[in-house]
Each structure stands twice: as structure tokens, then as C-alpha cells.
Amino acid sequence: MTDSDLPLNELFGIPEGPIPPVDPADLRSVWQMQREFQARVPGERIGIGGEFYKRACSPGANVRAVWFRTAMLGVLQMLGMLAPWIHEGVVADAVFNVAATFPMDGMKIGVPRQGFPFDVQEFLSQVVAS
């Protein structure tokens, strides 16, 4: 069963273990889609249905992996760690290129975790080097 066959309520379950690499274009597309939704209701928390994530990705994309990797970028942005690579609201390609393949591990829902599911310092070093 592929991600595109999954019911929407199962789309975002991330198993433990390595998160597969994705296409950087899918990361950018999902990132942009999320920002467009948020711009419609500034300052409010929103939920975006899985169907929108599927539509934002290329056919055959691993939507779960794209969602997870984009979510990790969102956390880095909230913490100000991506600020050097965001200019006039646009995230540099280097961020998406590295995030698309950088080793990340899934996190079991309901199990507390210390820190990120990837090496943040190495991630940022690779973005700088790109």
C-alpha cells in the first residue's frame, strides 16, 4: 500500500526508524502550502487535511516522509535556526536540498523524546556547506 492509498487518518503515523529520503521539490511545495494556509488565518492554530498534503506532493511521493521532514524544518524555523537561510520569507534551496536526504528517525507517538530525531548541528553544517 502506498501513501496515496492510505486513508487520511492514517497518513501521518510515522513509524520508528529511518525516515526515507524525499524530493526537495516536494518539501518546498508542502512548506509553501502550509504557509499559504497559515496566511489565511494569521495567529491561529490550523489543521490541514491529508488530502492537501497529497496534492502538494508529486505522484508517488512518500507523503509521510515529506510531512515529517517539513515538520522538523518548521520546528527549526520556530527556534530561529533557519533565519540565516530565509530572505524576504523565502527559504533557501540549500535547506530543502539537505532536509530531503538528511538522516532522520521517526518518533513513536506518545513516547517522550529528548532532543531532535536528527543531528541538528550536522544538519546546519551541511546547509552551510551547500
CA distances from 91 to 12, 28, 29, 66, 74 (A): 24, 8, 12, 16, 11
* Contact status, residue 50 vs residue 8, Cβ threshold 8 Å: yes
pLDDT band at 20 (very low <50, low <70, confident <90, very high): very high
Model pLDDT, residue 13: 57
Interval 35-60: pLDDT, tens: 887 777 777 777 777 788 888 999 99
Can you give the three-state secondary structure of 57-77, one letter per residue?
CCCCCCHHHHHHHHHHHHHHH
Closest C-alpha among 86, 101, 98 to residue 129: 98
What is the chain's mean pLDDT, rounded? Answer: 85
> Please, which residues bridge with residue 18 across strands?
105
**Cα 3 to Cα 11: distance, rounded to the nearest angstrom:** 7
Q: Which cell is 47 given? A: 489543521
Residue 68: CB atoms within 10 A of its CB come to: 21
Model pLDDT, residue 8: 41
Residue with grid cell 495567529, as numbered in its chain? 43
Give the SS3 label for residue 18: strand
pLDDT above 50 for 91: yes
Interval 100-125: pLDDT, tens: 999 999 877 677 777 888 999 999 99
